[in-house]
Structure 1
Amino acid sequence: MTNPTTPAPMHPLRRALTLWGTVIALLWLLLITDWILPAHLTAYGITPRNLEGLTGIATAPFLHANAAHLASNTVPLIVMGIIAALRDWRGMWTALAVSLLASGLGVWLFSPTYSVTVGASGVVFGLFGYLLARGVVMRRIGDLLIALVLVAVYGSMVWGIFPSQPQISWQAHLFGFLGGVAAAFMVRSAAKASTPA
């Protein structure tokens, strides 16, 4: 018998859309706020090999240099974020946490001195790496098909992990991608551990 006081669980698609819609709205709100004030929020990005710059690991993904910068991250963040959420809600959170940390530390350790890095592209590359690696390590046809579609649509992103333009942080891309791949292995290990023998 259903308890009338217990709210029905949110549909997975609605939950994913709510989460990523809120995240994207927050990113644009922060950028617009910075335009209006201006608050110079990009100063809170990652400053390499500076203890104060470590706080940027948590704040940098929410900050962007301009509208073009944020627009370039918006669509892949929504697409891959929603796919990851629908495939495995807990796995998505693992991928986000690991890729954010890996990307941030990679930037902090290896970016040029006195640079300040902002943007969600490390997380975008983390989700990309996570979903590609899931297609290999989970051994499920659904994950494999998703990986193949992402390679077809976003495969050119791979070039972003190599040094190209000085204003683009290949360090964030590379270490975010590696973090996402690592997260896929972590999720597989957790799934195996929870499966009865």
Structure 2
Amino acid sequence: MKASSPFVFTTGTIGYPILFVMLIWIVFWAEVRFNVSFNSFGVRPGEIKGLRGILFSPFIHSDIKHLFNNTIPLFVLSLALFYFYRPISWKILIIGLLATGLLTWVIGRPSNHIGASGIIYLLASFLFFKGIFSKFYRLVALSFGVVFLYGGLIWYVAPVDPSISWEGHLSGLITGIVLSLIFRNNIAQPPKYAWQEPDYSEEDDPFMRHFDENGNFIESLPEEEETSETEYHYIYKEKPDKD
């Protein structure tokens, strides 16, 4: 008989990733439909006005190719985040969004940095390192899945193309690693089975009540219980080892 799984597929698990993808497509549609450009709302390092891009830049894309390249990774990685790490998913997204944007503003070239790539690198980095730290087979498998699907992303944290914001990619990568360390202890535990759980606790065991937490004998045998000296030594002087 298996206990409840720590991983639950809810409406939000798939609903939020769909919402994120819809938002970036709606913003792009609005630019095309009304012939406007939101590029000025990107992260502009060194400019106070450029700080607003920390919130707005992930929703802005330069063209349809840029948008399409970010759509599938954003959906897949955010889906994995909400499924495997649902209790801390919003913390990772909100803190990660702010930290990635701020770090880009600090280390970035004096240019206009837009796109959801920084968030994608944040999610890929967090999911990979968090899975490795967990030592739980499902999450480790997720880590290798991320590497298999998006391992090529690592090349774009270096200035290989002047038209790509490698600073935003690097900021997302660093932020994901830091968050995986900060939330290192927030790991879903493997499901337990009924045969793994004892039917009683130490408090219910009349023999174990006579030992303190350090294993020292603290109570003599009740007078009404008749036990030979040999049995007394076995029961009270030798506390069973616990794994």
Q: TM-score band, normalised by the shorter chain?
A: 0.7 to 0.9
Aligned partner of 1:180 among 156, 176, 197: 176
TM-score of the two chains, using structure 1 as the length reference:
0.86
Gaps of 5+ in 1: 1-10, 193-197
Give the alignment's Cα RMSD to 1 decimal. 1.6
Instruction: Return the offset for 1:191.
Output: 5.7
Instruction: Summarize the alignment of residues 118-157 of structure 1 with structure 2, pairs less than 5 Å apart.
Output: 118-157=114-153
> 3-state DSSP class of the match of 2:183?
helix
Instruction: Return the offset for 1:94.
Output: 2.5
1:85 aligns with 2:48: no
| Partner AA of 2:104 in structure 1 | V
2:69 is aligned to 72
> 3-state DSSP class of the match of 1:188?
coil
1:170 is aligned to 166
Instruction: Figure out how many residues of one structure are paired with residues of the other and give that number.
Output: 181
Q: Structure 1 residues 38 and 90 mapped into 2: Cα distance closer, same or farther (>3 Å)?
A: farther
Instruction: Summarize the alignment of residues 30-109 of structure 1 with structure 2, pairs less than 5 Å apart.
Output: 30-109=27-106
TM-score of the two chains, using structure 2 as the length reference:
0.70
Instruction: Summarize the alignment of residues 4-43 of structure 1 with structure 2, pairs less than 5 Å apart.
Output: 12-43=9-40
Decide which structure has greater helix share: 1
> After the TM superposition, which parts of structure 1 deviate over 4 Å for at least 4 consecutive aligned residues?
none
Asked which structure has the greater CA Rg, the reply is: 2
| Partner AA of 1:182 in structure 2 | V
Alpha-carbon separation, structure 2, partners of 1:163 and 1:90? 36
> 3-state DSSP class of the match of 2:43?
coil
2:207 is aligned to none
Deviates more, 1:44-53 or 1:177-186: 177-186
Percentage of identical aligned residues: 27
